[in-house]
Chains A and B, each alone.
Chain A
Amino acid sequence: MIPIKVENIHKNYGEIKALKGVGFQVNEGEIFGLIGPDGAGKTTLMRMIVSLLFPDEGNILFMDRDVVSNNAFVRSHVGYMPQRFSLYQDLSVEENLLFFGDLFNVPKEKQHQRLERLYNFSRLGPFKKRFAGALSGGMKQKLALSCMLMHEPEIMILDEPTFGVDPVSRLEFWNILGTLRDQGITQVITTPYMDEAARCDRIALIYAGNILALDAPDKIIADFPYNIYKIASEVPHILFNNLKSVMEEKDIQLFADGVHVIDRNKMGINEMRNFLKAYLKDDEEPAQSNANLENIFLDLMHEQKEQV
C-alpha cells in the first residue's frame, strides 16, 4: 500500500497559480516534509490531501484511493492538524480529547485507555482540567496532536505544527513525532524551518507552487556540487552590498551572522580569499563550510526565479 501519492497537481485561485504540477509519493512509516516559505502552496496541498480542497488538475491517492471520490474514507482514516490551533479554547484538555474520540466513533472504554496513554507521552496529564485556551503554545500543539491520535490514524497530516512554538517545545514535539514514526505512523508535515527539515526522512523543497528538490535531506545536501564559504560579519548587509558589485547575486546569500558565498566556478578557498580581499574588512574572512539545506533552498529558488 502506498499511503499517499500526489500526481501532477495544479491549483489556481483566480489568476494566482498556487500549485503548478506537483507530484510526489509518501512511503509507509516515514516522516515526509514539505519545506518552503509562506505562500509556497504547502497548506493548499495539505488541504487537498485531506479532501478539504479540490485539485484543478491531477490526482491524489490516499491509501490507494482517489481522494475526491472517497472523501468519507479519507476523513475517517486521517489525522489532520490544521495550521492554526483549531481546538475549543473553552473546553478543557480532557473534554477536547473525548470530543474528538466521539467524533471518530471511538468506543468509550477505548477512549479512556488511550487518554491515559496520551497523557503519559504528551505529559498533559496534570493539566487535564485546564481550558485549552489557557495552555502554552507548546502544550496546545501537543494537545492538538493528541486529539488527532485518539482515533489512532495510520496517516497524519500536520500543517506547520510547530509554528509559534518555543525551541524547547519544538524539540519535544519532534521527539514525539519520532516515537510515532517508530510505531509505524506515516506523517506528512510542513514547516518553514530548515532545522526541522533535517529531521524528516524525506523532504520536498517547495517554492511558488513547484517542487525544487525531492529526496532525503542528507542526500540533497550531499548532491549539492559546490563549496560554500562563510564570511562572518558584524554588519552583514553592508558586506552583502559590497559583494554584489563583484559577484553574481545568485552566488551570495545574506544571513543574520554574515554572508555565505557559493563557489560556483570552483575557485577554491584560497583563490576566493584573494579575489574578495579588497572588499572585506580585516576581521572578515571566508571560511570553508558545509552547505546546509537553507543554502541549497536559496540557490534553487534563484534558479527557479531565473527560469520565469
Chain B
Amino acid sequence: MNKTLSSIIKKEFRHILRDKQTLIIIFLMPVMMLILFGYAINLEMQNIKTAIVDNSKTPQSRDFIEKIISVNFFRIVSVDPDYNNLESLFQMRQANCIVVIPYDFARKLDHQPQTKVQLLIDASDPNAANYINNYLNMVANLYNLDHNDFVIQPLSVEPRLLYNPDMKSAYFFVPGLIAVIILLICALLTSIAIVREKENGTLEQILVSPVKPIHIIIGKVLPYMMIGFLMGLMILVIGHFWFGVPVAGSVVLLNLMMILYVVTGLSFGLLISTITKSQQIAMMATLVVTILPTIMLSGFIFPIASMPLPLQFVSRLIPATHFLEIIRSIMLKGVGISELYKQAGALALISLVLLGVSMKKFSTHLE
C-alpha cells in the first residue's frame, strides 16, 4: 500500500484509540440501544391492567372471568370497583380496560340469542386499545365454543405467521438497530473526524504537502469503515445469540450488503464534512440528515405503507429504507441477491452520487 496512505490510516487509528471517551461511547452505544430496544421498548404486550365489574355474580359470569384470567394478556387489578366512578380508574392510570358484565348476564345467555358484555378501553394508546379489543373478542369466542357445541361457523380465518411466528419484536429491531448504528458510526464519526482537522488547522498543514486528496479521504474513511462494520457485526452476533434472531439467508451476502451500506454511511459523512466548518455543526447536520430520517422514515419503527404519499417518496431516498428491506429479507426470509438487486442498486446509486459530489467539493484550497 502507498506509504502516505498507510501513514494517514495509522495516524487515524491512533486518534481513535487515544480518544478513550469516544471509544467507550462507540462501543457502549450499540449495546445500550440493544438493551433498551430489547427489554424496555417492548412492542409485545402483556400484563394489561384490567378491572372487572361483575354485576351478575353467577356461575356463568365467574366462568367468563376465569377465561379472561387464563389469558396471559390480562392482569386483573381490581374486581367490582365503584360502578359510578369507573372513569377515575383510567384517570389515575390504575387500569387500561374495564370489563362490565351485566346483571342479567346468565339469564340472557340462557334465553336470548345475543348477550352483550361491555368493554371500556383507555384508547389514549390506540395500538394497545386495538390489542385489548382483539384479545377480549378471542376470549369471548373461546367462551362461546365451550358453551355452545352447535355453533356453526361457515367461514373462519386461519392465520399462519411466517418468518417471525412468535411475533418477537427482537426480530424486528435487531436488523433496524444495525441499520441505525452503522449509519451513526460511519456518517457521524467520519464527518467529525474531517471537520476536526479543519477546525484545528491541521488540514491546512497537511494540504501543503505532496499528499493527494484521495489519500487524505481514504485514510480518514477506512478506519471508520472498519469500526462501523465491526459494530454492525457485534449487534448481529448479540442479536443472534442473545435475542435469538435467526439468520435464514447467506451470511456472506449479509456481510457484503453491510459493507455496501457502510460505504453509503461514509459518503454521507464525507459530504457533510465538505460543507461544514465546525464539529458542532457537522454533528447537528449529521443527526438531522441521517439519524432522524433513519429512525422515523425508514420503516425501522413505523411501517412505510401507512405513511402519507410524499413521505413514502422521501423514504425511498433514505439509504436505511433499502438496507432494512435487504437485511430483514436476508435474516428472516432467507432471500438471495436475485430478490434484492433493486435495493442494493439503490444503495450503490445513493453512495455513488454522494461520493461524487463530496469528492468534487473536497477542496485542497482554503476557499
Residues of A within 8 A of B (CB): 47, 50-54, 71-72, 75-76, 78, 80, 82-91, 95, 98-100, 102-105
Contact = CB atoms under 8 A, between A and B. Distances in A.
A52 B3 contact: no
A99 B7 contact: yes
Interface stretch (B173-181, B208-216, B246-254): B208-216
Interface stretch (B130-138, B196-204, B303-311): B196-204
**Chain B's interface: helix, strand, loop or mixed, by majority?**
helix
Contact of B207 (A75, A104, A105): A75
6 contacts: A52-B207, A75-B209, A102-B4, A102-B7, A104-B209, A105-B210
Nearest to A47: B366
A52 B365 contact: yes
Contacts of B202: 86-88
Interface stretch (B12-20, B69-77, B281-289): B12-20
B208 A50 contact: yes
Contact of A105 (B4, B11, B15): B4
Given A53-B365, A75-B208, A87-B205, 4 more contacts: A82-B201, A89-B200, A91-B14, A102-B7
Contacts of A89: 200
Given A88-B11, A90-B15, A51 B205 contact: no
A47 B367 CA distance: 11
A87 to B, nearest CB: 7
B365 A82 contact: no
Nearest to B5: A102
Contacts of A71: 364
| Interface residues on chain B, size class | 20 to 34
A103 B211 contact: yes
A86 B210 contact: no
A109 to B, nearest CB: 13
Nearest 4 Cβ contacts at the A-B interface:
A102-B7, A76-B210, A86-B205, A86-B201
Contacts of B15: 88, 90
Interface of B: 3-4, 7, 11, 14-15, 18-19, 200-202, 204-211, 364-367
Contacts of B18: 90
B208 A90 contact: no
Given A86-B200, A90-B14, A76 B205 contact: no
A88 to B, nearest CB: 6
Contacts of B11: 88, 91, 95, 99
Nearest to B364: A71
B195 to A, nearest CB: 15
A83 B366 CA distance: 14
Nearest to B3: A102
B366 A103 contact: no
B204 A52 contact: yes
A274 B14 CA distance: 71
A52 B203 CA distance: 11
Nearest to A91: B14
Contact of A51 (B201, B210, B365): B365
A83 B204 CA distance: 10
A127 B11 CA distance: 19
A285 to B, nearest CB: 49
Contacts of B200: 84, 86, 89
A89 B205 CA distance: 13
A129 to B, nearest CB: 13
Contacts of A47: 366
B300 to A, nearest CB: 35
A82 B367 contact: no
B361 to A, nearest CB: 17
Given A82-B201, A86-B200, A105-B4, A53 B366 contact: yes
B77 to A, nearest CB: 57
Contacts of A72: 210
A176 to B, nearest CB: 19
Contacts of A84: 200-201
Nearest to A85: B201
A80 B204 CA distance: 9
Which residue, of B15, B200, B205, B365, has the highest number of chain A Cβ atoms within 10 A? B205
B14 A76 contact: no
Contacts of B19: 90
A47 B208 CA distance: 10
A95 B17 CA distance: 14
Contacts of B364: 71
A71 B201 CA distance: 19
A34 to B, nearest CB: 17
B299 to A, nearest CB: 40
Nearest to B366: A52
